């Protein structure tokens, strides 16, 4: 049986706090009401501007002659494609550090110069920097809840999320440079057989360049890399004693990289 679906020019629109619009279709050549609804749905776009398809009404106007009205309205909370987000700016979890950013002063002026090593003490015949635990890196932690269609929440997608959890971005992602963002967790549960809300938690720590530690300069360190300093005993001519001073700095990769673009998340701030 041959049938046709045609969009006609008559449209009803509503402006205001709850805008809506109706696209009207004519369906000819079938008496199957289920097929009429399916044809109307297939012929009409999923979105119309910023509005989403919310309702389809069909009515039989004559023999094998139907009218289909497709209504578009604003998105409701919890519909596929929606995003909710929240964020927190805070210091990163306490990290044990052995050197400071700068030795501001030492008293008296002839006191040994440890070149930014912290809490240096004698350990037998040697000196050891005990360091301290401090919140030294400013981080941005945020969550995003994305509403996925049930059909897109496949075992393959779940496996992809599992593989990326705990990793850092392997390339520039959104406004962040490589190595600045870590995917902390993903959680969610299906809502019936239509929508799956997934909440993603991220943490961003800025990359750094030209970190000066005594006579050592660290050219570059990614946000989620770890920096530690090696020291050796040297003679301090002013204090006339042996001191421990930085001789090398090491930037260590702690987390694996991952392709964040493969998650397919729209940017809530874009």
270 found inside a domain: no
State whether 11 and 115 are in the same domain.
no
State whether 144 and 155 are in the same domain.
yes
CA–CA separation, 24 and 262 (whole Å): 38
261 found inside a domain: no
State whether 122 and 147 are in the same domain.
no
Phi, psi of 16 (to 5 degrees): 125, -160
CA–CA separation, 40 and 5 (whole Å): 7
114 found inside a domain: yes
State whether 170 and 224 are in the same domain.
no
State whether 196 and 229 are in the same domain.
no
Specify the DSSP element, H or E, that contains 68: strand 65-73
CA–CA separation, 67 and 40 (whole Å): 9
At 112-154, the pLDDT tens digits run 999 999 999 988 888 999 988 887 667 888 889 888 888 888 8
State whether 114 and 144 are in the same domain.
no
State whether 200 and 211 are in the same domain.
no
194 found inside a domain: yes
State whether 198 and 151 are in the same domain.
yes
Listed residues 189, 205, 221: the one ending a domain: 205
* pTM of the entire predicted model: 0.65
State whether 236 and 120 are in the same domain.
yes
State whether 147 and 193 are in the same domain.
yes
At 6-55, the pLDDT tens digits run 778 656 777 766 788 899 999 898 888 889 888 988 888 888 877 878 88
The separation between CA 160 and the C-alpha centre of its own chain, rounded to angstroms, equals 15
128 found inside a domain: yes
State whether 168 and 117 are in the same domain.
no
What's the token pair of residue 174? Answer: 């959104």
CA–CA separation, 25 and 66 (whole Å): 8
Task: State the pLDDT at residue 9.
Answer: 63
263 found inside a domain: no
Tell whether the model's pLDDT for residue 167 goes beyond 90: yes
| Number of domains composing the chain | 3
State whether 18 and 144 are in the same domain.
no
- Of 218, 203, 234, the closest CA to residue 112 belongs to 234
At 130-141, the pLDDT tens digits run 988 887 667 888
44 found inside a domain: yes
pLDDT: which is higher, 170 or 11: 170
Domain that holds residue 110: 95-135+207-252
Task: State the pLDDT at residue 101.
Answer: 85
23 found inside a domain: yes
pLDDT: which is higher, 102 or 82: 102
């Amino acid at each position: 049986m041959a049938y046709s679906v045609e969009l006609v020019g008559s449209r009803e629109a509503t402006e205001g706090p709850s805008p809506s619009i109706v696209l009207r279709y004519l369906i000819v050549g079938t008496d199957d009401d289920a097929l009429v609804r399916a044809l109307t749905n297939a012929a009409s776009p999923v979105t119309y501007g910023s509005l989403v398809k919310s309702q389809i009404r069909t009515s039989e106007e004559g023999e094998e002659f139907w009218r289909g009205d497709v209504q578009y309205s604003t998105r409701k909370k919890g519909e596929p494609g929606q995003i909710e987000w929240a964020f927190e700016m805070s210091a990163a979890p306490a990290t044990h550090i052995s050197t400071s950013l700068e030795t501001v002063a030492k008293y008296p002026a002839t006191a040994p110069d440890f070149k930014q090593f912290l809490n240096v003490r004698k350990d037998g015949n040697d000196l050891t920097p005990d360091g301290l635990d401090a919140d030294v890196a400013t981080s941005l932690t945020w969550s995003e809840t994305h509403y996925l269609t049930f059909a897109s929440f496949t075992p393959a997608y779940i496996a992809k999320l599992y593989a990326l959890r705990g990793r850092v971005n392997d390339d520039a992602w959104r406004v962040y440079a490589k190595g600045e963002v870590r995917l902390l967790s993903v959680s969610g549960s299906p809502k019936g057989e239509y929508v799956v809300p997934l909440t993603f938690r991220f943490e961003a720590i800025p990359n750094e360049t030209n970190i000066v530690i005594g006579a050592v300069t660290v050219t570059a360190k990614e946000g989620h890399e770890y920096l530690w300093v090696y020291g050796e005993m040297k003679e301090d001519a002013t204090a006339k004693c042996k001191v421990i001073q930085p001789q090398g700095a090491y930037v260590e990769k702690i987390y694996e990289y991952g392709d964040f673009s493969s998650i397919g998340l729209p940017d809530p701030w874009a």
